[in-house]
Amino acid sequence: MEPQDRQSIDLTRLQVPDGHRYKVSIEKDESPQELRLRLIRELVVLAVATLFVIAIGAICLVVVLGKSSSPDDRKWAFGILSGIAGGCVGHLLRR
């Protein structure tokens, strides 16, 4: 049965079991142009972030593998490389 007024909903007619709740929301559909722009933005952010992580990883590898690097320099480079590796594994496992 449709409500008489399209701008009101009669919530008293809903039969909600004990221990349950309900939520009402009205959302605007995403237009094809908005979807396209959102996907392009997400791809650009992904590409920039990937290049940034690769650049930092490369710098750390140069420090770790460099013969003139001090032990302190190698220590922070290993820490950053460990963080990058952990972040990649976490992203792949979704945790």
**Separation of alpha carbons 22 and 44, rounded Å:** 37
Q: Are 80 and 64 in contact (CB under 8 A)?
A: no
Residue 2 has pLDDT above 80, yes or no: no
**Separation of alpha carbons 17 and 33, rounded Å:** 41
pTM of the model: 0.63
Report domain extents, the chain: 30-93
- Which ranges constitute the DSSP H helices of the chain? 32-65, 71-93
Average model confidence (pLDDT) across the chain? 87
Closest of 8, 39, 40, 35 to residue 24, by C-alpha: 8
Share of the chain above pLDDT 90, in %: 58
